[in-house]
């Protein structure tokens, strides 16, 4: 699993969509998508057995625990790509839930 964090409007989504174009793209900016994931996370993730790009994951942090279980039970390959804006609590949630399970990449703005 790969996690890409950084300030808003930095290009995280564009980067993930270009480099992982073969994976389905899911944005948690969409309220219906968030509601689906929140109401039945197991069924939601079942649709993405082969992985996906989950964009703006800070809007659905409860999903990280379910992803932890999937990563622990499955083969150790890069199934999921997570992106999220730098937000207090997101990094600690990722560190707690996905420690040793994700490569955490923090993008910095161009100067």
**Local structure of 48: helix, strand or coil:** coil
Could you give the percent of the chain with pLDDT greater than 70? Answer: 78
- CB 32 within 8 Å of CB 60: no
34: left (phi > 0), else alpha (psi -120 to 50), else beta? alpha
Give the domains, in start order, of the chain with CATH numbers: 2-106 (3.40.50.300)
Q: Is it the case that residue 46 has pLDDT exceeding 70?
A: yes
Residue 1's pLDDT is: 86
What is the predicted pLDDT for the residue at 23?
A: 96
Indicate the burial class of 2 (C-beta count within 10 angstroms; 0-12, 13-18, 19 or more). middle
Nearest to 25 by CA among 40, 41, 14, 9: 14
Q: Are 62 and 33 in contact (CB under 8 A)?
A: no
pLDDT tens digit sequence for 60-97: 988 988 988 888 887 766 689 999 886 655 666 666 66
Q: Is the pLDDT of residue 98 over 90?
A: no
Q: How confident is the model at residue 9, as a pLDDT? A: 84
> For position 48, what pLDDT does the model report?
94
What is the pLDDT averaged over residues 36-40?
Answer: 96
Joined together, the tokens standing for residue 62 give 């409860």
The model's pTM = 0.83
């Amino acid at each position: 699993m790969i996690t890409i964090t950084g300030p808003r409007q930095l290009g995280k989504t564009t980067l993930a969509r270009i480099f992982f174009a073969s994976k389905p793209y899911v944005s948690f900016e969409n309220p219906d998508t968030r509601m689906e994931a929140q109401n039945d996370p197991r069924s939601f993730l079942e649709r993405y057995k082969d992985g996906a790009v989950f964009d703006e994951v800070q809007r659905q942090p409860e999903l990280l625990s379910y992803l932890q279980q999937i990563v622990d039970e499955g083969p150790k390959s890069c199934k999921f790509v997570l992106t999220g804006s730098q937000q207090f609590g997101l990094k600690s949630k990722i560190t707690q839930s996905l420690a040793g399970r994700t490569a955490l990449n923090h993008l910095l703005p161009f100067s």
